[in-house]
Amino acid sequence: MYNQIDAILAQYEMEVYEVTKGRGTYICNTSKGKFVLTGFRGSKEKGELLREYLSKLKNHGFIVEQIEINKNGEAVTVDEETGERYILKDYIVGTELNVNRVKELKDAATLLAEYHNISNDIEWKELEESMLCAQNINEEKTRHYRELIKARNYMRSRKKKNDFERIYLKQCDGMFQIAKKSLDLLEKETEDVITTGIGHGEYNQHNVVFVDGHCQIVNFENFGIRWCILDVANFLRKMLEKNDWEINVGAEIIDAYRKKRPLTEADWEKLYALLLFPEKFWKITNHYMNSRKTWISQRDIEKLKKVIEQEGKRLHFMQNLFAIQEE
């Protein structure tokens, strides 16, 4: 593996002193400083757009990682043997966001709002809008809903059911009703404008780091033109899952964001619809359907039980979301 990585790094104008394995990445100590080598699932063209976009963010005063070009002047480097694509970017030394510290969650929400404000100042046309458009969220959630139905039908057809399936089948119909309501709300037209911008695409605790007391966003590889509220909803959901859907925690996050970037009525409507979808339940379902059914780990069963146990608190938060809006 390291011979393969060495071959990739040889395509850059730098001397490499040391390479260590990170979380799905390689940390490279070089003559130009420290970099992170990571796989890139997009095309060469999108990699170049990402490099250009990060450069534009920096020029707008936003502190953000930059992508190093290779000897051919390209952002994406391809492994000649495997065809795998890589990008080399700045290594940011910092501490990952602590999901249990409300102040850090508020700081991250404020930073997200500031990022959305700056991203709106960048001309989309210059970044070839057609290449950036993110997947339609309605289509994505509809596909997830159909996958839930497919999983239920599969489990019902099994004569000998395991513990996971028995627990799942007792709860799934209620989850499906909630998922269907979420879809209906997402498809409903809004009278107000839904704010759109270049979203991060994966804004979570792993992609927010604290450097000298200030937080910074990393890993923009899933960037794309989408509703800004998608980033907010994804971050809020993940943080609330880690905090047992505490209403006060959610209110603090939302308040920190909207102090820097007000939400329209349509933003609120779509935020509600997005959070209503039982995303964690779908993820567990999807993992089950893509795993070996002959043996289900106790950990998977515990994850399913936890989601079911949290559902009452999740729905209670949803009931209070519009009360937060009026504060």
Q: Specify the number of domains making up the chain.
A: 2
Bridge partners of 133, per DSSP, are 225
For residues 182 and 151, membership in a common domain is answered with yes
For residues 164 and 284, membership in a common domain is answered with yes
For residues 87 and 134, membership in a common domain is answered with no
For residues 232 and 282, membership in a common domain is answered with yes
At 139, the amino acid letter reads: E
pLDDT in tens, the chain (327 residues): 567 888 999 999 999 999 999 888 999 999 999 999 999 998 999 999 999 999 999 999 999 999 999 999 999 999 988 899 999 999 999 999 999 999 999 999 999 999 999 998 887 666 665 555 655 888 999 999 999 999 999 999 999 999 999 999 999 999 999 999 999 999 988 877 788 889 999 999 999 999 998 999 999 999 988 899 999 999 999 999 999 999 999 999 999 999 999 999 999 999 999 999 999 999 999 999 988 766 788 999 999 999 999 999 999 999 998 777 766
For residues 215 and 308, membership in a common domain is answered with yes
| Dist CA 31 CA 183 (whole Å) | 52
What is the residue-averaged pLDDT of the chain? Answer: 92
Q: Map residue 19 onto helix, strand or coil.
A: strand
For residues 185 and 236, membership in a common domain is answered with yes
Domain interval for residue 304 = 102-326
Express each pLDDT in 189-230 by its tens digit.
887 778 888 999 999 999 999 999 899 999 999 998 889 999
CB atoms within 10 A of CB 123: 8
Say which CATH number the domain at 187 has: 3.90.1200.10
Name the domain boundary from 64, 91, 118: 91
Name the domain boundary from 91, 121, 139: 91
Bridge partners of 87, per DSSP, are 38
Per the domain annotation, does 96 fall within a domain? no
Q: What pTM value is reported for the model?
A: 0.92
For residues 251 and 114, membership in a common domain is answered with yes
Name the domain boundary from 58, 91, 124: 91
Say which CATH number the domain at 81 has: 3.30.200.20
| Dist CA 276 CA 90 (whole Å) | 37
User: What DSSP letter does each residue of 218-243 carry, written as one string?
Assistant: ---TT-EEEEHHHHHHHHHHHHHHHT
The DSSP output letter for 264 is: P
Is the Cβ–Cβ distance between 209 and 92 less than 8 Å?
yes
Residue 279: predicted pLDDT: 96
